Amino acid sequence: MRSERISGPGVWLLGIRPRTLTMAAVPVAVGGALAWSLGSGVDHLTFAVTMACAILIQIGTNLFNDASDGLRGADGPDRLGPLRITGAGLATARQVRRAALTCFVLALAAGLYLVTVGGMFILVIGLASLAAGYAYSSGPRPLSYGPWGEAYVVGFFGIIAVAGSYNLQSQQLPDLAVVLTGLAIGCPAAAVLLVNNVRDLEADTRAGRRTLAARLGAPTARWLYALLMLAPYPLLIVALGFPHSGLALLALPLSVWLIVMFRKQAAGPAMNQQLARTAISQALIGILLLVGLLR
């Protein structure tokens, strides 16, 4: 079995899902760069703590998801995606939840410093992020078991993360340009989850999960994927104008290629590569945007 070859730190590395962490890091970096491009200085300590909090919340959310899905039987032997440590018996649900809670407590402790910098706005964002991270997979009605998962990702891995990071650096409330930039960053992140849910459509249905992909059906979900992948480009142009957003257009060919590939793919393990490449596309858009904002 695969689980026999994984032990110690490797188990927890698998549990935190390192490839997903760019989705937490990119919007924080973009929000800080937006503030800098508009004339704010860079508070390096605040930026580092913001990044740490975002990544800790992402890891905690991943671990709560691992434990909850393992207990609910959603990560059984017929799983098409990457190995999950609870479902594979590499760790108990109690151990995984304890690790998730530790991440949230550390994020909360670090976040107290951010509240001294950003005030009530940051306090509300921080508490909402922790609550949503837990509610994504836990509680009587997990977000991941309904049609709101993609909206959650757009909100918390796009708009809220960009707006919060921008506020901490600029000491100003986000305007429409910041919100639209956050929306642009959140759309491809939501596309990552959509690929995951199309891949797992049959297994999710058996487990009682009525995700957005299940509600729409695979053909319509593939069209939604195309929309999410193309939306960042006009959004960034409207929000920031061509000089700042122009470099991000260099990622458009990759987005188009991924749309074409996804249209032809059968649901199954082959979509794991599609998922990883979609996450890369979001990171690429973010990196190109950073260069455009900071040059």
pLDDT at 295 over 60: yes
Task: Report CA-CA distances (Å) from 207 to 162, 210, 269.
Answer: 34, 9, 18
pLDDT band at 226 (very low <50, low <70, confident <90, very high): very high
Q: What domain count does the chain have?
A: 1
Higher pLDDT, 291 or 39: 291
Residues 36 and 9: their CA atoms lie apart, in Å, by 38
First to last CA, the chain: 50
CB 224 within 8 A of CB 237: no
Q: Which pLDDT tens digit goes with each residue over 153-190?
A: 999 999 999 999 999 999 999 999 999 999 999 999 99
Virtual CA dihedral for 78, 134, 192, 149, nearest 10 degrees?
Answer: 90
- Asked if residue 227 has pLDDT above 50, the reply is yes
Which pLDDT tens digit goes with each residue over 235-287? Answer: 999 999 988 899 999 999 999 999 999 998 887 788 999 999 999 999 999 99
Q: What range defines the domain where residue 166 resides? A: 2-294
Exposed e or buried b per residue across 71-97, where buried means at least 16 C-beta atoms within 10 angstroms of its C-beta: bbebbeeebbeebbbbbbebbebebbb
pLDDT of residue 244: 87
Amino acid at 111: G
The per-residue pLDDT for range 77-103, each reduced to its tens digit, is: 556 667 789 988 889 999 999 999 999
Taking alpha carbons only, the member of 116, 109, 112, 91 closest to residue 8 is 91
CB neighbours of residue 103 within 10 Å: 21
Percent of the chain with pLDDT over 90: 74
Evaluate whether 232 touches 248 at the Cβ level (below 8 Å). Answer: yes
CB atoms within 10 A of CB 240: 22
Reply yes or no on whether the pLDDT at 4 is more than 60. Answer: no
Mean pLDDT of all residues belonging to the chain: 91
